[in-house]
Structure 1
Amino acid sequence: MKVFLETERLILRQFTEKDAENLFELDSDPDVLRFTTNLGQPTPYIVIQTQILPEYFAYYEKYDGYGCWAAIEKSSKAFIGWFLFRPIIHASYFNPKLANSTDVEIGYRLRKASWGKGYATEGVKALIFKGLSELGTKRILACAFAVNTASIRVMEKAGLKLKERLFSEEIAQEAVLYELNKS
């Protein structure tokens, strides 16, 4: 398995087939999924094996430096979640009126036991730095439900600014779109 980047407390590495159980556990916690498009519904194990992991593996083949990365806590070596740094064209909410096809989406999902420890901010800042300094990223976007104040704080701590408020008819939720321009 390939390590993508390390921070003081985290290792972000490529996913492997062996991570199916980790993803299943993460996506089985209704509190973790409360602010996702799953709206608290667990992801079936078969979907993780046949759709999600193959999608992550395809990013590694297609892109040099973009994808979804397993987050490992250095001190315990435990899987704590994932971080996403990929071309926004792969985002379910991609809309050419809101984003350019060259923009990059950033996001994360962490186990509840890892909340409130600064891991989200640490990982997001490291990905932003790598994207802007090494990968040629020009603009980074992040989306969250408007009620997800913890994720909004992470985006703001990482330097992203509110771009737009949106309402999703599909899930009957208000969302916010944040951005960070290289300039």
Structure 2
Amino acid sequence: MVVYLETDRLLLRRLTTDDLDNLVELDSDPEVMRYLSGGAPTPRERLRDVGLPSMLAYYDRGDDFGYWAVARQEDFLGWVAFRPDRGYGPAAEVDRSGIEVGYRLRRETWGQGYATEACRALIRKGFTELGVQRVYAETMAVNAASRRVLEKSWLRHVETFFPDWPEAIAGAEHGEVHYALTRDEWLSVNR
């Protein structure tokens, strides 16, 4: 097991091909997928052939950025991401001025502070060890719980925008929100 980072309660470790069943179970919960696919599960074949290989491909570029399993002792709780802007993809040069933080956790862990704890740890590592200058996240405007996690992780609302999604899900009419935090802003509250 390759550990990326530890917090008081959590272990962030590399994902492996052995995590496929964990990812399938996570993406099969309609509430977990509510603001991502309208509650539709991600097919196992898509996770096996596209999703997991894409996540694992980040490790080919080094250990700084990518996806990690969130675990409490041996229990898989979900995953977190700390990665270059989606437009760059795993094979391109890392733009450290725009690193996206994201997460997907099992519903039974919600409300226990795990997402905030993992995001804060990634942001701290990014700003203190990796030379990151700006972190951002996006979610649906109606996803109040996720917005609270971002706010507790020091990010602030920058804009609401309205992407043209091929298949809109409930709440899409309210748009997406972009949250961000610069290294200087983080330093001003974390000295």
Q: Provide TM-score, normalisation by structure 2.
A: 0.86
Aligned-partner Cα distance in 1 for 2:14–2:63: 12
Alignment partner, residue 65 of structure 1: 64
Gaps of 5+ in 2: 90-94, 185-191
Across the aligned residues of Structure 1 and Structure 2, the Cα RMSD in angstroms comes to 1.6
* Structure 1 segment 83-162 matched on structure 2, within 5 A: 83-90=80-87, 102-162=97-157
Aligned-partner Cα distance in 2 for 1:91–1:84: 15
User: Post-superposition shift, 1:59?
Assistant: 0.3
Aligned-partner Cα distance in 2 for 1:11–1:103: 24
User: Post-superposition shift, 1:91?
Assistant: 7.7
Aligned-partner Cα distance in 1 for 2:53–2:63: 17
Aligned-partner Cα distance in 2 for 1:101–1:39: 32
Contact 2:82 2:100 in 1 (8 A): yes
User: Post-superposition shift, 1:28?
Assistant: 0.3
Query: Which secondary structure state, in structure 2, belongs to the residue aligned with residue 32 of structure 1?
Result: coil
User: Post-superposition shift, 1:64?
Assistant: 3.0
User: Post-superposition shift, 1:46?
Assistant: 1.0
Q: Provide TM-score, normalisation by structure 1.
A: 0.90
User: Post-superposition shift, 1:168?
Assistant: 2.2
Residue type of the alignment partner of 1:65: D
Give identity over the alignment, percent: 45
User: Post-superposition shift, 1:62?
Assistant: 1.5
Alignment partner, residue 188 of structure 2: none
User: Post-superposition shift, 1:101?
Assistant: 7.5
Alignment partner, residue 21 of structure 1: 21
Alignment partner, residue 43 of structure 1: 42
Query: Which secondary structure state, in structure 1, belongs to the residue aligned with residue 131 of structure 2?
Result: coil
User: Post-superposition shift, 1:175?
Assistant: 0.8
Alignment partner, residue 187 of structure 2: none
Aligned-partner Cα distance in 2 for 1:145–1:116: 18
User: Post-superposition shift, 1:90?
Assistant: 4.5
Contact 2:96 2:134 in 1 (8 A): no
Count of aligned residue pairs for this structure pair: 173
Aligned-partner Cα distance in 2 for 1:91–1:41: 27
Residue type of the alignment partner of 2:85: I
Contact 1:91 1:105 in 2 (8 A): no
Contact 2:97 2:135 in 1 (8 A): no
User: Post-superposition shift, 1:8?
Assistant: 0.6
Tell me whether 165-174 or 45-54 shows the greater mean CA deviation: 165-174
